[in-house]
Structure 1
Amino acid sequence: MSLPPKFHGQKLVAGDVAPSPHTLELYLDYVCPFSAKLFRTFYHDVKPIIAEKYHTRLQVIFKQQIQPWHPSSTLVHEAAAAVLKLAPEKFWEFSDVLFKKQTDFFDLSVVNETRNETYKRLAALAASVGVDSEKVFQLLAIVPQGGESLNSGNGVTNDIKLMIKANRVIGVHVSPTVFFDGIEERSISSSFSAAQWDEWLRNNVA
């Protein structure tokens, strides 16, 4: 599937950059435990396999899948969008941190703080991977605009709109969802081990 150039940080670089005949898309939500499980195995155990065996035949794209029944999902994805804008090479590393810290942004963890307070905590997480927390917060913060601009969003609202529109066009609903070469790949489970991933890659990409 195509990827807007400004979102190029969502593409996993696991080896030499080369044209790839196959595309794997991972639709993940940062506050979804099953997404965290899939990401953890994929990023830490499967990425090295792809770098070694399939880097010229497979491109992998992280697609941000906001789940609106968890209001904090939008906020966490906005933070990832800010990092994607400021330091696209840090997107996957920051995603790893977000998944590790996901319970800090579950419903009960954010219910008693303001939106901007949540953004400040997310900006601090961005600093842990070397991204300027002040610049991240500037993109995220909701600040008075003057006049009647009471619903103007923040510095990544337009990017989030594009992400949501792209996901809706192909009908992605739950997380995690995996697409392979433009078709939903339901055989891939969030419980896949590295060995199962290796077998799947061998059967479908090699």
Structure 2
Amino acid sequence: MSMSLTYFSLIQPWHPSSTLVHESALAVEKVAPGKFWEYSNALFNAQKEYFDVNVVNETRNQTYQRLAELAGTVEVDKDSVYKLLHIADKPDGDAYNIGNQVTNDVKFITKAARQVSAHVTPTVFFNGVVENSISSGWALDQWKEWIDNNVI
């Protein structure tokens, strides 16, 4: 019996900062691909710092700056990360919604998630079918029990 696990970024639009933290992970992946998981771990450990109540009074670029600083803690060039994330404060000609240098990556992961009907985290597919019994609130023991009962 075999099992594969695929990680896929899924932005939760009802949490506005979700886009920003996902963008930061995409930027880290571009700057230092081998640091993606280490950065993701740092981001998970610091996640409360990026919840709605902790970013509401910051500009978008201020949050990006903090995320770039976090990338620096795992030895990723924070300036390169910020350069990919930064949003200009002046229009580019007649273009006012210019995004940043990972906007196209966000569009791709969003389209891919929609295509497979992934709407919440985690969305788990078991034998190609969404397994709705799995919850983001699960503890490690619940995951182990589900895997023992269904996979192994």
TM-score, with structure 2 as normaliser: 0.86
Provide the residue aligned with 2:125 in structure 1.
179
Between Structure 1 and Structure 2, the one with more strand by share is 1
Provide the residue aligned with 1:44 in structure 2.
none
Unaligned 5+ segments in structure 2 are none
Q: 1:142 aligns with which of 67, 87, 90?
A: 87
Offset, 1:197: 3.2
Q: 2:110 aligns with which of 164, 174, 184?
A: 164
**Higher relative contact order (Cα pairs below 8 Å, separated by 6+ residues):** 1
Offset, 1:63: 1.4
Unaligned 5+ segments in structure 1 are 1-20, 22-56
Deviates more, 1:62-71 or 1:152-161: 62-71
Q: Kindly report which structure 2 residues correspond to 1:4-43, keeping only aligned pairs within 5 A, or say none.
A: none
1-structure distance, mates of 2:151, 2:35: 27
Distance 1:71 1:194, change over 3 A: closer
Contact 2:122/2:134 (<8 A) preserved: no
Distance 1:92 1:182, change over 3 A: farther
Whether 1:114 aligns to 2:40 is no
CA deviations on 1:47-68 (whole Å, 9 max, x unpaired) are xxxxxxxxxx333222111111
Superposed CA RMSD? 2.0
Paired positions, count: 151
Identity of aligned residues (%): 54
TM-score, with structure 1 as normaliser: 0.65
